[in-house]
């Protein structure tokens, strides 16, 4: 007999025996304690539910972290920048990337839901299955753009992957533990709504809420008595609809994640456009500078102190607007400062990577930038192609200002290091960039094959470009710069890694490009390359143009005549260096970059800096002969029996130089000599050494 029936029988018997209908027996029924096995089963069941939720968060943290690898890799190799230069809109780039990544993330989301349904995981099936699907989907929706935004903080994809993975997983578990240990319900709810801004926590707490709600709801809805008891409790909470905005429903989690996806994507676009780091910080620094220093002149000066006359003439043309429609590139007072730091309200000194250069490049011209590493060549290219913003100044390329209309420009760009997506074939890359540059779809194949043939890549076009040799990668990078016939092509050391034959082949290709009416600006360490390709060039030192003009003009202006190289037959003994206190002036050596004899442009050759034989007889005889025959000769180099002199062209002819050397070579022991016009390399060396 049940306890309720027995209690009713006893009440009737009591009233009859006492003849008092007001008497009543009250019974309290306490269940027997659970057995050990029952307690373990219940605990294990609860633990399994939480463990499954934790493992799901772990797996999706790993999945989401992988989406940072490709954006950072594209940024590292400059492939993303190359696409922007070719006309890709920032918003279109990130929307397409986001759509593709979200589509890929949808596969594990659907598979997870199928597994939950197939194995009937308690708490995550039935009407809770929709909640699981939406939680997983919206986690991908908001964390993928979050990963995009975070990618701007890293330059190494593997480091970024590890940091993002541990951040997502650890923060979700820490915030979840805080929820379990906080006892005050109002404090717990406040922390919950605050930490929902962490998408991984929103997923973790959402899965736990779904599981707990399923257990509590199942217990409380067994009958009317349990339902009433649960409603009267202040600590027991459940909802009939798991998607409810009331806890433990996950509706608020879903709303948070939906909004976070939009905010993180907007943040990605702002960061890509350099909104925070370039514009805001730059305006703040300029504001401080204006308060600490006098305002800069509104107009660019026509002539700077100590500036070369050719450089000044080019600057004057730019400042006065003496340009034509035929000018493809117009650079006006371009300046880029680096390493500026703020100390309180003081602006510390900055390094000028590019210091006020001005230039006009017309059609059909190949313009070269020469200079040692750190001279500012690559920084100039980075500014002109939109990779970095100038501090002041601007440039107009094919009619569009780089500060406002960069995406409208048609620029071909071959960066210093190959910006190739290595899993794509050469033909696929060329097809992609042909499409980006607006070639009609019907003509893309023809344009691609033309570039493949022009750069001699037919044998390799169907291979993944990661398998290309260094020379073929440079040829493919050049082909990408040329496809679509952009009016201006920037080539940053295009022949690096090429063998001499391939290098000369590429020179012929580039010569043909300028004949087609296009302009080329290139940097190179090869003086021979500049002499073969460039119609004009400038030598950069510390971010400034030190000289500018055609090859022959620079040779005539700065070359100071001929170069004499001679080699003695007898091998010279170990060089000798005299102590500093015994230094003795041997020659007064004029800087080959000048002809005016200005004391500022003079240097003195000391015996401590010149290598000599121990006996000194043969080499001294040669020096004496040179000084007697060519009094204004300048000793440039002496090493192991070989000497290099610079001979002034004034009063000298080729025949007179050869006549003197032929008549005396046997007496002096000269076994080999050459006389040539001063090379471009020798001209550039005049400026290469720091002043």
Instruction: Give residues with Cβ within 8 angstroms of 43, minimum separation 6.
Output: none
Which of 225-234, 321-330, 418-427 is the least confident region?
225-234
Instruction: Report yes or no: 378 and 371 within 8 Å, Cβ to Cβ.
Output: no
Which tokens is 196 given?
A: 């929902």
pLDDT for 31: 60
Q: How far is it, in rounded angstroms, from Cα 480 to Cα 420?
A: 10
Q: Output the CA torsion sign for 343, 349, 353, 356.
A: positive
Global confidence as pTM: 0.72
Q: How far is it, in rounded angstroms, from Cα 12 to Cα 265?
A: 74
Name the band, by pLDDT with cuts 50, 70 and 90, for residue 234: confident
Name the band, by pLDDT with cuts 50, 70 and 90, for residue 603: very low
Per residue in 609-630, pLDDT (tens digit) is 333 443 456 788 888 888 888 8
Comparing C-alpha atoms, which of 534, 412, 414 is closest to residue 474? 414
Q: Per-residue DSSP letters for 341-366? A: -EETTEEPP-EEEEEEEEEEEETT-E
Query: Could you state, in order of their start, the residue ranges of all structural domains in the chain?
Result: 37-272, 309-555, 559-688
Per residue in 156-166, pLDDT (tens digit) is 999 999 999 99
Region label for 331, one of left (φ > 0), alpha (ψ between -120 and 50) or beta (otherwise): beta
Buried b (16+ CB within 10 A) or exposed e, 537-566: bbbbbbbbbbbbbebeebbebbbbbbbbeb
Query: Which residue in the block uniquely carries the two structure tokens 């001979």?
Result: 647
Pick the CATH number of 309-555 from 1.10.357.10, 3.40.50.300, 3.30.1490.100, 2.70.170.10: 3.40.50.300
Name the band, by pLDDT with cuts 50, 70 and 90, for residue 561: confident
Q: How many helices (H) and strands (E) does the chain have?
A: 23, 18
What are the strands, taking DSSP E only, across 371-428? 392-397, 400-401, 411-414
* Average pLDDT of the residues in 137-160: 95
* Average pLDDT of the residues in 535-546: 90
Q: Is the pLDDT of residue 479 over 90?
A: yes
Q: Is the pLDDT of residue 345 over 60?
A: no
Pick the CATH number of 559-688 from 2.40.50, 1.10.10, 1.10.287, 3.30.70: 3.30.70
Buried b (16+ CB within 10 A) or exposed e, 280-291: eeeeebeeeeee
Instruction: Report yes or no: 191 and 199 within 8 Å, Cβ to Cβ.
Output: no
Name the band, by pLDDT with cuts 50, 70 and 90, for residue 578: very low
């Amino acid at each position: 007999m049940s306890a309720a029936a027995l209690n009713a029988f006893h009440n009737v018997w009591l009233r009859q025996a006492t003849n008092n209908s007001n008497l009543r027996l009250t019974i309290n029924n306490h269940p027997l304690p659970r057995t050990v096995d029952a307690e373990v089963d219940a605990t294990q069941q609860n633990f399994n539910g939480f463990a499954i939720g934790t493992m799901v968060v772990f797996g999706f943290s790993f999945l989401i972290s992988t989406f940072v690898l490709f954006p950072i890799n594209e940024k590292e190799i400059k492939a993303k920048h190359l696409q922007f230069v070719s006309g890709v809109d920032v918003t279109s780039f990130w929307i397409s990337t986001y759509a593709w990544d979200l589509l890929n993330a949808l596969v594990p989301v659907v598979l997870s839901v199928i597994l939950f349904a197939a194995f009937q995981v308690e708490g995550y099936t039935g009407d809770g299955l929709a909640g699981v699907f939406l939680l997983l989907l919206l986690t991908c929706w908001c964390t993928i753009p979050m990963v995009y935004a975070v990618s701007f903080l890293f330059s190494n994809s593997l480091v970024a992957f590890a940091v993002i993975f541990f951040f997502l997983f650890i923060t979700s578990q820490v915030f979840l533990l805080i929820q379990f240990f906080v006892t005050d319900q109002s404090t717990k709810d406040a922390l919950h709504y605050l930490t929902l801004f962490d998408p991984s926590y929103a997923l973790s707490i959402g899965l736990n809420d779904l599981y707990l709600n399923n257990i509590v709801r199942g217990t409380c809805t067994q009958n009317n008595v349990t339902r009433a008891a649960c409603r009267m409790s202040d600590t027991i909470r459940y909802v009939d609809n798991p998607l409810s905005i009331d806890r433990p429903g996950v509706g608020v989690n879903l709303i948070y994640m939906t909004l976070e996806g939009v905010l993180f994507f907007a943040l990605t676009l702002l960061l890509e456009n350099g909104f925070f780091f370039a514009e805001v910080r730059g305006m703040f620094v300029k504001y401080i500078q204006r308060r600490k220093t006098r305002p800069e002149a509104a107009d660019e000066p026509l002539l700077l102190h100590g500036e070369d006359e050719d450089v000044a003439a080019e600057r004057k043309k730019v400042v006065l607007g003496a340009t034509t429609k035929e000018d493809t590139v117009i650079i006006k007072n371009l300046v880029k400062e680096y390493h500026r730091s703020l100390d309180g309200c003081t602006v510390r000194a900055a390094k000028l990577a590019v210091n006020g250069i001005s230039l006009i490049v017309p059609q059909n011209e190949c313009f070269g930038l020469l200079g040692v590493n750190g001279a500012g060549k690559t920084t100039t290219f980075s500014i002109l192609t939109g990779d970095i913003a100038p501090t002041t100044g601007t440039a107009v390329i094919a009619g569009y200002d780089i500060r406002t209309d960069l995406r409208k420009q048609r620029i071909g760009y071959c960066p210093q290091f190959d910006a190739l997506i290595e899993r794509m074939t050469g033909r696929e890359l060329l097809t992609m960039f042909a499409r980006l540059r607006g070639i009609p779809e019907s003509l893309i194949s023809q344009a691609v094959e033309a570039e493949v043939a022009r750069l001699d890549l037919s044998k390799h076009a169907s291979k993944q470009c990661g398998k290309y040799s260094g020379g073929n990668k440079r040829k493919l990078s050049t082909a990408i710069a040329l496809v679509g016939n952009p009016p201006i092509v920037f080539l940053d050391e295009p022949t690096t890694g090429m063998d001499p034959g391939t290098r000369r082949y590429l020179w012929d290709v580039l010569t043909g490009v300028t004949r087609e009416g296009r302009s080329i600006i290139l940097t190179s360490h090869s003086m021979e390359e500049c002499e073969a390709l460039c119609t004009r060039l400038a030598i950069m030192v510390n971010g400034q143009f030190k000289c500018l003009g055609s090859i022959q003009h620079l040779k005539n202006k700065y070359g100071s005549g001929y170069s004499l190289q001679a080699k003695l037959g007898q091998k010279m003994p170990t060089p000798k260096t005299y102590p500093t206190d015994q230094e003795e002036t041997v020659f007064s050596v004029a800087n080959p970059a000048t002809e005016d004899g200005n004391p500022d442009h003079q240097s003195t050759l000391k015996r401590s800096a010149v290598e000599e034989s121990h006996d000194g007889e043969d080499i001294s005889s040669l020096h004496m002969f040179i000084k007697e025959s060519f009094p204004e000769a300048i000793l440039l180099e002496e090493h192991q029996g070989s000497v290099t002199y610079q001979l002034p062209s004034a009063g000298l002819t080729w025949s007179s130089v050869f006549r003197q050397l032929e008549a005396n070579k046997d007496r002096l022991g000269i076994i080999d000599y050459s006389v040539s016009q001063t090379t471009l390399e020798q001209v550039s060396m005049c400026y290469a050494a720091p002043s």
